[in-house]
């Protein structure tokens, strides 16, 4: 069936470097995508979202890129800090329905000192 | 900043017992959700609730599960007869008219 998945289960980066976390989705009907950060023992925390009519959106130190041609989503974190260490999930929402989200498997980001 | 709250943070129960997980969504929100996350796995949708009724549910949400909004603030998830495989983190989420879903901190359910 259609699903959202992540390319890499773990990612380690040096403090101060930029991080790129990738996500592939297969549901062409999805119109809205969100990146969440989840720290150990906590709930998903909203980072940034993007609609399907956009290909890029920037926030504070974060950028989301959407490539609908290859159904790919990425999260870029600039100047990665130790507090960025967490599991990052992409999630998609399809048109219609009750706006529920379908989550990917998650990528563990570890920031090295 | 308004936030979704959940109680208890950790619930331990015996197999076959009933549990009720409680959530207080953000006050002006309209859509309410329950998700679960088995340890080490991704977050899975259980059920959505809008206008005092279930609007959509997943295959996981069988007859053992029920949801209720007993008053203007609380949103509950009941599991009638817990099974070992119900052990997971349960997250409540809510949205207003915008698309951003805000999640609570979760309840860790442990079924022994």
Query: What is the arithmetic mean of pLDDT over A52-70?
Result: 95
Does A83 contact B at CB distance below 8 Å? Answer: no
Does A43 contact B at CB distance below 8 Å? Answer: yes
User: What is the per-residue pLDDT for B32?
Assistant: 94
Does B103 contact A at CB distance below 8 Å? Answer: yes
Q: pLDDT tens digits for A17-50?
A: 999 999 998 788 899 999 999 998 889 999 999 9
Measure CB to CB from residue B100 to each of A42, A49, A89 and give the nearest one: A49
B83 Cα to chain A: minimum distance (Å): 22
Q: Which residues of A11-46 are buried (b: 16+ CB within 10 A; e: fewer)?
A: bebeeeeebebbbbbebeebebbbbbbbeeeebbee
Contact A104 B42 (CB under 8 A): yes
Q: How far is CA A95 from CA A6, A60, B73, B87, in A?
A: 21, 28, 28, 31
Considering only CB atoms, which chain A residues are within 8 Å of B33? Answer: 100
User: What is the per-residue pLDDT for A4?
Assistant: 58
Tokens of A8: 């890499």
At residue A72 the predicted structure's pLDDT band, cuts being 50, 70 and 90, is very high
Contact A44 B42 (CB under 8 A): no
User: What is the per-residue pLDDT for A62?
Assistant: 98
**Which segments of chain B have a pLDDT < 50?**
none
Does A96 contact B at CB distance below 8 Å? Answer: no
Q: Give the chain A residue nearest B47 (alpha carbons).
A: A100
Specify whether the CB–CB gap between B91 and B35 falls below 8 A.
yes
How many residues are listed for chain B in this entry?
Answer: 112
Does B34 contact A at CB distance below 8 Å? Answer: no
A80 Cα to chain B: minimum distance (Å): 24
Measure CB to CB from residue A44 to each of B45, B48, B103 and give the nearest one: B103
Q: A108: closest CA among A26, A33, A19?
A: A19
Q: pLDDT tens digits for B76-105?
A: 999 999 999 999 999 999 998 777 899 999
Cα B40 to its chain centre, rounded Å, is: 18
Considering only CB atoms, which chain A residues are within 8 Å of B101? Answer: 34, 46, 99, 101
- Burial of B76 per CB tally in 10 Å (0-12, 13-18, 19+): middle
A90 Cα to chain B: minimum distance (Å): 10
Contact A43 B44 (CB under 8 A): no
Residue A1 pLDDT > 80, yes or no?
Answer: no
Query: What is the arithmetic mean of pLDDT over A67-94?
Result: 94
């Amino acid at each position: 069936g259609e699903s959202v998945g992540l390319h890499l289960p773990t990612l380690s980066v040096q403090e101060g470097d930029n991080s790129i976390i990738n996500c592939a989705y297969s549901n062409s009907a999805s119109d809205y995508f969100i990146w969440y950060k989840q720290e150990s023992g906590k709930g998903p925390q909203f980072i940034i979202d993007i609609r399907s009519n956009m290909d890029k959106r920037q926030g504070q130190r974060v950028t989301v890129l959407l490539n609908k041609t290859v159904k790919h989503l990425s999260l870029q974190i600039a100047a990665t800090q130790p507090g960025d260490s967490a599991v990052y999930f992409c999630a998609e929402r399809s048109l219609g329905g009750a706006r529920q989200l379908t989550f990917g498997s998650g990528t563990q980001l570890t920031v090295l000192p | 900043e308004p936030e979704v709250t959940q109680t208890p943070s950790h619930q331990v129960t015996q197999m076959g017992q009933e549990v009720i997980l409680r959530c207080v969504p953000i006050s002006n929100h309209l859509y309410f959700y329950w998700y679960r996350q088995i340890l080490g796995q991704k977050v899975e949708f259980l059920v959505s609730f809008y206008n005092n009724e279930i609007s959509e549910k997943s295959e996981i949400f069988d007859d053992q599960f029920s949801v209720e909004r007993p008053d203007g603030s609380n949103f509950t998830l009941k599991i009638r007869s817990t099974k070992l495989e119900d052990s997971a983190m349960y997250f409540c989420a809510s949205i207003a008219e915008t698309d951003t879903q805000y999640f609570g901190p979760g309840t860790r359910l442990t079924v022994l």
